[in-house]
Amino acid sequence: MRLHLFFLILLAGSTCFAVNYSGPIGHREAFLANAGGGMAESPGNVLLNPAGLGFRQNKESSLTVSGNAISRQEFNVSQYAVDPEEMSIRPLLAAGIYPTNYGTMAIFISNPTSFKIYGGSSSSESGVNIKTLLRVDYEELAAGMTWAREIHPHFSWGVSAGIGVETQKSYGYALASQTGVTAVTSFSLTEQKTVSLFIVPGVLFKATDHWNVGLSMKALADLSSSATTMRFRTNSSSPTTVEELNNSYDPNGTSPLSFRLGQEFIFSANHDVYLDLIYQGASSSYNANNEKFLTDEIWSGALGYRNSFSNDVETLWGYSYARSGSADSNSLTAGVALERRNNEFIFGLYYLSSVPREADTGGFNSYGVMFSSNVEY
C-alpha cells in the first residue's frame, strides 16, 4: 500500500504534456530549470510559450535536438529496497522551425518523462513472512505543431497543439508464508494507456527594451483512456487452483488546467534573468476498484540566469521549486552554451529532488548530463 501511494503521488506531478514539468525540458530552458515563459526566439518556445517564436527575426530554418545524455533516478520508499534506474539516453525535444511570410511554423516531438523502477520488500507480521516485488515502466510522448506571429513590434501570439500519449505498465508479485507453509502467492499486471489532445496558447509582450512578459496555458481533452488489470492468486487451502481476475476500466477522471507567467529581465547584452510562476490545477483518476483519487494542485517557480562571457560562450544557471500537498521538489541546472554563427550547442548538468510530506510515502532523486543543439540551414 505504501508503494502504491508513492507511485500515485509521483505520477500526479507529471501529467502528460503539462505546462508544469517535473524534469528538464526544452532547448535553453532545460538549463534554466525550465524558466523561459518570457523568452523570445527559442526552440523551447513550442513547449513553454509558443508566442516566443512570433518574434523570430532569423529567416533561416533550424533543427533542434536536446536530451539527457546520461540520467539516473534513485527512489526512496520506506521498507522497500528500490533499485535506481539504469543509465539511459533519452530525447527531451526534437523541433524543426520554419519561418514563413505569415509567421513562424514549427513541428516537434517531446519525451517529457520516462522511468523504470524495480523494487521489493520483506517483512514479518504476527508470524507471517511477506515478500513483495514491483516493477513500473512509465512513458510520456507528445508530438504537435506550433504557429506564432508578431502582431506588433511589442506583441506576439502563438499556439501549440498536438497529441500526447501516456503509457504505464506495472508488475507485482507477493508471497505470504509461515514456517514450512506457503499461505498465499499472487501476481498482478496492470497496463494503462491514455491518448489526449493538447493545446497550449500563449502571448508575449515586450513591455520595455529590458522587460518581457509572457503568459501561456495548457488544456487537455482525452481522446481515449483504458486500463486492464490481471491478477492470479493461489492459497494453501487449494494450492493447485489458480484464482484469476481480469478487470478493464477507464483510469482517467478530470485533467488539470495549467498556467505559466514568465518574465525576462534584460540587464545588458550579457546578462538576463528569467522568472516563471506556474500553477497546475487539481485532477482525478480511478483505479481498478473504481475508487477515485484526487491529485493536489501544484504551485511552482523557476529562476534562470544567463551570463555571456563573449560572443561564443555563455553560461546558463537555473533553480526551480514546486510545492504540492504531498511533496516539495527542488531542481538545480547548469550549462555552457557554445555559439558559432547562428548555430548553438549546450552541455550541462541537472539535479532533481522530491521530498515527501507524509511518513508513509517515498521520495526520489534524479540527476544526469544534458545536451542540446540548434543548427540552422
**For range 230-244, the mean pLDDT:** 82
Domains of the chain: 2-376 (2.40.160.60)
What is the tens place of the pLDDT at every residue in 137-179?
A: 888 899 999 999 999 999 999 999 999 999 989 888 888 887 7
Angstrom distance (rounded) from CA 139 to CA 135: 14
Whether residue 308 has pLDDT greater than 60:
yes
Task: Report the b/e string of 143-164 with b at 16+ CB within 10 A.
Answer: ebebbbbbeeeeebbbbbebeb
The per-residue pLDDT for 4 is 41
| Mean per-residue pLDDT over the chain, rounded | 85
> What tens digit of pLDDT does each residue of 289-300 get?
778 878 788 899
Higher-pLDDT residue of 118 and 366 is 366
Residue 366: what residue type? S
Q: Would you say 347 and 371 are in contact if contact means Cβ atoms under 8 Å apart? A: yes
Report percent pLDDT > 90 for the chain: 49
What is the pLDDT, as a whole number, of residue 17?
37
Q: Quick one: pLDDT at residue 154?
A: 95
- Does the pLDDT value for residue 36 go beyond 70? yes
Category of 135 on φ-ψ map: left (φ > 0), alpha (ψ -120 to 50) or beta: beta
Contact 57, 148 (CB under 8 A): no
pLDDT for the residue 256: 84
pLDDT (0 to 100) of residue 80: 62
Q: At 6, list the grid cell.
A: 508513492
Residue 264 and residue 211 in contact, taking contact as beta carbons nearer than 8 Å: yes
Q: Residue 29 has what DSSP assignment?
A: G
Distance, CA of 97 to CA of 107 (rounded, Å): 7
* pLDDT > 50? residue 238: yes
70-96 pLDDT, tens digit each: 777 777 766 666 665 566 677 889 999
Task: Find, among 204, 312, 198, the residue nearest to 257 by Cα.
Answer: 198
The grid cell for 76 is 526512496
Residue ranges with strand state E in 236-362: 238-249, 258-268, 271-280, 283-286, 292-295, 298-308, 313-323, 327-340, 343-356
Residue 125: which residues within 8 A CB-CB, separation 6 or more?
none
Name the residue with higher pLDDT: 73 or 275. 275
